[in-house]
Amino acid sequence: MKVVVLIENTKNGSKDLICEEGLSIYIETKDRRILFDTGRTGNFIVNAKRMGIELQQVDAVILSHGHHDHGGGLSSFFQINDKAKIYAKRGVERDFYFRTILFSNSIGINKTVFNEYSDRINYVDGFTEIMDNVYIISEIEKQYKTPEGNKYLFVKYGNEVTRDKFDHELIMVIREKDELTIFTGCSHNGTANIIETVRSRFPGGKIKAIVGGFHLVRIPLIKILGPSQEEINILIKKIRDENIERVYTGHCTGEKAFKKLKDILGSNISYISTGTELNI
């Protein structure tokens, strides 16, 4: 499986690429081409061209959740690709906010795209195989605590704004030769919970790798505070218990959290930045 990070907060080396606060990952598995999230803007398309990736050939787009740093580039994608189906969980079109005592900031996706391209958007409810050995899991079990940073994230239901429960988040799993690779956008439901959910859905499969953001920054948009040691310990134990060979993470994981994970997991974990290419 070929995996290329089209957009992430940082840039990989000296490549002539654009980075931004967001995430977009391109995947080739057998004869299928998948785009997992679209970053904040259309910059992922610019990067794809510079890396020789033809997004016009993408067969499916997976939208991990309703925040603009993962779906803001969706309208730009529709302008270059007229065939791909979009898979999302119902609720991604709501109004979302980052809020503290001092200020409030809208972080939702422009609703126009959901209305204008409604015929191409498929809402997934439940455990669904969207194509051969490519699965969407829309219900995430919560055996462990969810990230502390979630307390600053809100959603609007009608006229009421409440804390986001992240029922709009989904994960993707690709199976190759009975080995599983998990793709997650921000893991707002908790990475340990995501791993546990995949285990319960695939009781006999080996989880080979997990790719995506782990939301271990304590205050979103403010990177100076890292996660609690409890969060780190739970995640490391889950990775080790499942004998996950490779962990690829970045975006909302945060530098402090990554360093803590790296100190223990060593070569089993790698940071993914804009331009990173993986062969899983």
Tens digit of pLDDT for each residue in 163-216?
Answer: 999 999 999 999 998 899 999 999 999 999 999 999 999 998 999 999 999 999
Residue 227 pLDDT > 90, yes or no? no
pTM greater than 0.75: yes
What's the pLDDT tens digit per position in 4-62? 999 999 987 767 999 999 999 999 998 899 999 999 999 999 999 999 999 999 999 99
Distances, alpha carbon 28 to alpha carbons 33, 45, 102, 150, 190, in Å? 5, 16, 44, 32, 26
Q: What is the pLDDT of residue 14?
A: 64
Q: What CATH number is associated with residue 137?
A: 3.60.15.10
Overall number of domains in the chain = 1
Report the C-alpha gap between 183 and 197 in whole angstroms: 13
Could you list the residue range(s) of the whole structural domain that residue 202 is in? Answer: 2-279
Report the C-alpha gap between 162 and 165 in whole angstroms: 9
Residues 216, 73, 32: CA angle, nearest 5 degrees: 90
**Burial category of 218 from C-beta neighbours within 10 Å (exposed 0-12, middle 13-18, buried 19 and up):** buried
- Name the residue type at position 117: Y
Are the CB atoms for 212 and 23 separated by under 8 Å? Answer: yes
Angle at which helices 191-201 and 229-241 pack, to 10 degrees? 20
